[in-house]
Structure 1
């Protein structure tokens, strides 16, 4: 994979703030032509540096305002069971983020649902009845203080 140069990093910084920024505006800001910006963005998408172009949704405005942080503890740490748990968690659309972690718990999940009743149904679907899940611990977010997806690229510039 090619190394990222200063132009690439500047493009990424702009795209992280608004991936709908016109390429000519990006080019004017960093001193490249729109065509050069387009080629660089295309390369970064093809190589997987840019994984997706998404819209960040306000969870409250779409009535999915309950955010939960869930620690999951597995019964056994066999690779096939870890892989099975990963598939289970990533297949649930309510699971926004899934981290396989070190420490006491095996996984940390960030879950967004519209109500605690929905969360109860989710726990029945993915936790209870799964022989490899020893237990899970749920933290309910009272307020989202900060939620972001940006990587601090400006520190590399």
Structure 2
């Protein structure tokens, strides 16, 4: 795992490429593929280490809630690697997305592609995170 302020090395990047292609691949196979010994730990990568410092939480309202529209939106959002999390929600919005981006210019281009130019989306609202106070997927057990 790259610590804040430390760049990812060639091993880190090789492991990330493998895990992003197949996150169920056994650790020992990943270790063999990158010529490292297998370790029993978890890798969480800070977006800053990959030069993706912008985190946006986006509320998306679809033009309608028909199954075909919702399914098409799910497919669109899932296909975008910048969309790190996608939730189909109730309460006045259709989706809440967590998006990472290298800068606001790239974020603007992404919003045009996913929202402004899409016939699926009626409107969207962006909240830009000022600080990542808590992230992760540890379960409270």
Give the aligned length.
104
1:63 equivalent in alignment to 2:56: no
Q: Which residue of 2 aligns with 1:93?
A: 81
1:113 alignment partner in structure 2? 101
SS of match in other structure, 1:96:
strand
Distance 2:47 2:102 in 1: 9
Aligned residue runs from structure 1 range 44-83, under 5 A: 55-83=43-71
Q: Which structure 1 residue ranges, 4+ long, deviate > 2 Å from structure 2?
A: none
5+ residue gaps, structure 1, are 1-19, 23-53
TM-score of the pair, normalised by structure 1:
0.63
Matched with 1:145 is 133
SS in 1 for 2:117: coil
- Structure with the greater alpha carbon radius of gyration: 1
The alignment's TM-score, normalised by the length of structure 2, stands at 0.70
- Of residues 7, 21, 24 in structure 1, which corresponds to 2:40? 21
- 1:55 is displaced (CA, Å) by 2.6
- Partner in structure 1 of residue 123 of structure 2: 135
Q: Give the distance between the partners of 1:115 and 1:97, measured in 2 at CA.
A: 18
Q: Structure 2: which 5+ residue stretches go unaligned?
A: 1-38
Alignment partner of 2:72 out of 84, 97, 104: 84
RMSD across aligned C-alpha pairs, in angstroms? Answer: 1.7
